[in-house]
Chains A and B, each alone.
Chain A
Amino acid sequence: QQQVKQSPQSLIVQKGGISIINCAYENTAFDYFPWYQQFPGKGPALLIAIRPDVSEKKEGRFTISFNKSAKQFSLHIMDSQPGDSATYFCAATSSGSARQLTFGSGTQLTVLP
């Protein structure tokens, strides 16, 4: 049973456009929701994260929107750049699981120049 569902599987955006990736979770015990960025041949790296008591968090061009009642959260990348081309993973964790991360299935983002 996949506890964190992510869509779309792949996304192609023009340079300067907005990239939007959506995730939904099932486990209400989750209390921390990070997004990870992974480039080919590298490990995932934290991009931005949010707690469920906050509805939005912005860091530069990256924004997380969080809807606790719907158990959904999304990543918005404003002014997308070719250097943003990577695989993006949403994730969720809780204190009861030693902070193990449950990942979404990933979104392959391609930003065209």
Chain B
Amino acid sequence: DTAVSQTPKYLVTQMGNDKSIKCEQNLGHDTMYWYKQDSKKFLKIMFSYNNKELIINETVPNRFSPKSPDKAHLNLHINSLELGDSAVYFCASSQMTVNTEAFFGQGTRLTVV
């Protein structure tokens, strides 16, 4: 069983479109995250979501909005896609204690054309 699963794995779309990436974890973790990995492989936190508390990285444009229907799911919705949004997006989950591993999904490669 996949611990953290994301769909789709690849997403190609035109500028200006709205798209969503779905994430599900079956680990029973209480916190989920979205990370962005750019073309230079730099990984940066976008959001964390714990018990309905959302922590947003201040550099994330408000076109990006996380939506969590329940503790096991954290989806990422992106409005008005721009060329610069092209990247690999990783969902992750962990339990909010020290020494707890964060498990990552396999990533969604988003290409905006």
Contacts and interface: CB of A to CB of B under 8 A. Distances in A.
Interface of A: 31-32, 34, 38, 41-46, 49, 51, 87, 89, 95, 97-103, 105-106, 108
Contact of A87 (B41, B48, B53, B107): B41
B101 A44 contact: no
B41 A32 contact: no
Contact of B48 (A44, A49, A99, A103): A99
A99 B94 contact: yes
B104 A99 contact: no
Interface of B: 4, 31, 33, 35, 40-45, 48, 50, 53, 55, 57, 90, 92, 94, 96, 98-107
A98 B99 contact: no
A97 B99 CA distance: 14
Given A98-B55, A100-B55, A43 B33 contact: no
B105 A43 contact: yes
A51 B98 CA distance: 9
A43 B55 CA distance: 22
B101 A49 contact: yes
A45 B42 contact: no
Given A32-B98, A49-B99, A100-B55, A43 B42 contact: no
Contacts of A105: 40-42
Contacts of B94: 99
Nearest to A95: B98
A89 B45 CA distance: 14
B55 A99 contact: no
Contacts of A102: 45
Given A44-B104, A45-B104, 15 more contacts: A34-B101, A34-B102, A42-B107, A43-B90, A46-B101, A46-B103, A95-B96, A97-B55, A98-B50, A98-B53, A98-B55, A99-B48, A99-B94, A101-B35, A101-B43
Given A98-B50, A100-B33, A106 B41 contact: yes
Nearest to B47: A100
Contacts of A43: 4, 90, 92, 104-107
A99 to B, nearest CB: 6
